[in-house]
Structure 1
Amino acid sequence: MQFNKPPLSYQEQISQLKARGLVIDDEQQAEHYLKHLNYYRLSGYWLPFEQDHASHRFKPDARFEDVLNLYVFDRELRLLLLDAIERIEISVRATWAYVLASKYGAHSYLDSGHCHRADWHQSNLSKLAREIERSDELFITHYKAKYTEPQMPPIWSVVEVMSLGMLSRWITNLKPSDRADVALNYQLNEQVLKSFIRHLAYVRNLCAHHSRVWNRKLTVTTKPPKKPQRLKASCNLEQPRRIYNTLVICHHFMGQISPGSTWTQRLLKLVEQHNIDPNAMGFPANWQSLELWKKANVQ
């Protein structure tokens, strides 16, 4: 079938939404947001308000303000996730570098003997070398100017030019015993750490590219932890593709990295302020009775 939909002016977009049953009290406000956010982008947020997707008819009393509220919530949720991801990424970088340097030396990452697979190591090392070559960080240029051997800087230096995706590949290629030493810093199983960092790189990309995360069915999922018990009990094994389990494990990491953080409280306040149905995010029906969330509510 050939695509033949014509472009619509902002006023025509508003007229179409109203004809489909969406209540728009302030057309000037609606035009402003359609102009700056894009009709197609907002359409992902009015899907829950549709009565019938085939005809695009809205439920009775569905309002443009409700759609906008959902959009703003999702935006603030992405920012909150990026806050946690930044801290987790920096911490895992530091722990990875410290463990390998302490066990094998400053340039241990150059040795494929410390990796699970030599071919993966070569690929990772080539990508890292390109990042170092492109870097204008002072600590990189200082090393190049002062030292000739080894050609690449020590592990505690190169880790600072790694993306989260690259870090995930290095974590994945660690020998299980070395990865267990990294995971120990977070009271996690090494397989869970490997899975979660890979998952987090995917979630970070969604957030960085301003993609919807609130009710998305995630493509890259994370392995649920079996311990600590409170963490295991808080996960929702029936909804592995929703953002809920990501939030639970982020909460756990934040407790390890920044024990005084109010990150979880800000998350709960955000859900409450925007009156969001947490079921769409994968929250279990009994989530408020779980120890993790009960403790967060009283802090």
Structure 2
Amino acid sequence: MTRTFGKPALTIAQQLALLQAEGMTVADPARAEHWLRHVSYYRLSAYWLPFEHPKGHAGPRFVPGTTFETITALYDFDRKLRLHVLSAIERIEVAIRGSWAYALAHHAGPHGYLNAALYSDRRQFHDNLSRLAREVGTSPETYIAHYRDTYDDPAMPPVWMVAEMMSFGQLSRWYSLLDDRALRNTIAKPLGLHETVLVPLLKHLSTVRNSCAHHGRLWNRGFLLRMKVPQKPADLVATLEPPPPGPARLYNSLVLIRHLLKQVDPQSQWMIELKQLLGTHPTNGLSAMGFPTGWAGRPLWQ
């Protein structure tokens, strides 16, 4: 049986009227229309979803007391959270790029990263290399253009150059593919984690970063690409929550980010600023982010 989409496009006025008819209180219709025009009904719908009755409920869609102002306050909170998390991941990303390039350069030479024997899966290595070579061939970066114009052999730049141009997702794939566990641990050591934890964590943080960079909802999102909960150091373990069944919530991600920042930027005020931001949550709904009761008393939040 063919299922045909039949929803019509609604005007801004119709969108607002629909929300009011479904039980949402709108104190300032002009302001609400501005939000619907410049943010969009569909983007905001992700933020009012927690305020909806379960499907099949008889009566209005929204629970009593739902206001448009709460929805926009939640949207603003999430926007600030994304920017704050992105600023931390940027510093972590720079650190892992540097550690990866330094370790490989001293282990195998400036172009040793091109040796397929270093990697656990030859096919995946060649896929990664083909993708990277295409980016090098079209890169407008001055340092890449200089290498292309100055050297013919090897065709690819040294590891410290490609480390700066590849995406975070690519970097995590190159790192996880290394066959030598000791080399992976050498790269992980400056970040204060074992490689068995850092490998899945970088993949997870790449997903978190992409959500932030592409303006996706973050605060109560569930992440299918999960991290591994480490067994040490003690202050980290005591701050983390046991992994829940189903998608991972943001709390453990924030704890690991806090731990990594302690290694790469010890003077950072990121944790203090995060706690201040969390205090502005419009509904204090931190449990939807995976925050446990009494979280602020755990070691890494001190």
- TM-score > 0.5 by shorter chain: yes
Question: Is the 2:92–2:261 Cα contact (8 Å) retained in structure 1?
Answer: yes
Q: Write the distance in 1 (CA, Å) between the matches of 2:262 and 2:125.
A: 32
Decide which of 178, 190, 193 is 2:198's aligned counterpart: 193
Query: Would you say 1:272 and 2:279 are equivalent positions?
Result: yes
In the other structure, the counterpart of 1:220 is 225
Question: Is the 2:259–2:300 Cα contact (8 Å) retained in structure 1?
Answer: no
Query: Would you say 1:209 and 2:235 are equivalent positions?
Result: no
Question: Is the 2:192–2:260 Cα contact (8 Å) retained in structure 1?
Answer: no
TM-superposed deviation, 1:53 = 4.2
Could you tell which deviates more after superposition, 90-99 or 236-245?
236-245
Cα offsets for 1:211-261 (capped at 9, x unmatched): 111111112111111111111221112436111111111111111111111
Structure 2, unaligned runs of 5 or more? none
Decide which of 257, 261, 267 is 1:254's aligned counterpart: 261
For 1:273, what is the secondary structure of its paired residue?
coil
Decide which of 148, 152, 155 is 1:144's aligned counterpart: 148
Cα offsets for 1:139-171 (capped at 9, x unmatched): 112222222222211111111111001101101
TM normalised by structure 1 equals 0.94
Taking the TM superposition and a 5 Å limit, the aligned residue runs for 1:34-45 are 34-45=36-47
Decide which of 288, 292, 297 is 2:300's aligned counterpart: 292
Q: Write the distance in 1 (CA, Å) between the matches of 2:127 and 2:21.
A: 55
Amino acid at match of 2:293: A
For 2:224, what is the secondary structure of its paired residue?
coil
TM normalised by structure 2 equals 0.93
In the other structure, the counterpart of 2:63 is 59
Query: Would you say 1:72 and 2:76 are equivalent positions?
Result: yes
Question: Is the 2:181–2:195 Cα contact (8 Å) retained in structure 1?
Answer: yes
Question: Is the 1:215–1:281 Cα contact (8 Å) retained in structure 2?
Answer: yes
Question: Is the 1:51–1:58 Cα contact (8 Å) retained in structure 2?
Answer: yes
TM-superposed deviation, 1:58 = 1.8
Structure 1, unaligned runs of 5 or more? none
Inter-CA distance 5–124: structure 2 relative to 1 (3 Å threshold): closer
Question: Is the 2:236–2:299 Cα contact (8 Å) retained in structure 1?
Answer: no
Question: Is the 1:11–1:31 Cα contact (8 Å) retained in structure 2?
Answer: yes
Q: Write the distance in 1 (CA, Å) between the matches of 2:264 and 2:136.
A: 27
Q: Write the distance in 1 (CA, Å) between the matches of 2:25 and 2:64.
A: 9
TM-superposed deviation, 1:129 = 1.0
Question: Is the 1:45–1:70 Cα contact (8 Å) retained in structure 2?
Answer: yes
Question: Is the 2:16–2:33 Cα contact (8 Å) retained in structure 1?
Answer: yes
TM-superposed deviation, 1:125 = 1.4
TM-superposed deviation, 1:263 = 0.9
Cα offsets for 1:76-131 (capped at 9, x unmatched): 11111111111111110110000011122111101112222222221211111111
Amino acid at match of 2:232: K
TM-superposed deviation, 1:7 = 2.1
Could you tell which deviates more after superposition, 57-66 or 92-101?
57-66
In the other structure, the counterpart of 1:241 is 248
Q: How many residues align?
A: 294
In the other structure, the counterpart of 2:169 is 165
TM-superposed deviation, 1:23 = 1.1
In the other structure, the counterpart of 1:101 is 105
In the other structure, the counterpart of 2:21 is 19
Q: Write the distance in 2 (CA, Å) between the matches of 1:17 and 1:229.
A: 49
Amino acid at match of 2:201: F
Q: Write the distance in 2 (CA, Å) between the matches of 1:213 and 1:54.
A: 27
Question: Is the 1:47–1:53 Cα contact (8 Å) retained in structure 2?
Answer: no
Q: Write the distance in 2 (CA, Å) between the matches of 1:11 and 1:209.
A: 28
Query: Would you say 1:122 and 2:129 are equivalent positions?
Result: no
Inter-CA distance 121–4: structure 2 relative to 1 (3 Å threshold): closer
In the other structure, the counterpart of 1:183 is 188
Could you tell which deviates more after superposition, 166-175 or 266-275?
266-275
Q: CA RMSD in A?
A: 1.5
Question: Is the 1:183–1:189 Cα contact (8 Å) retained in structure 2?
Answer: yes
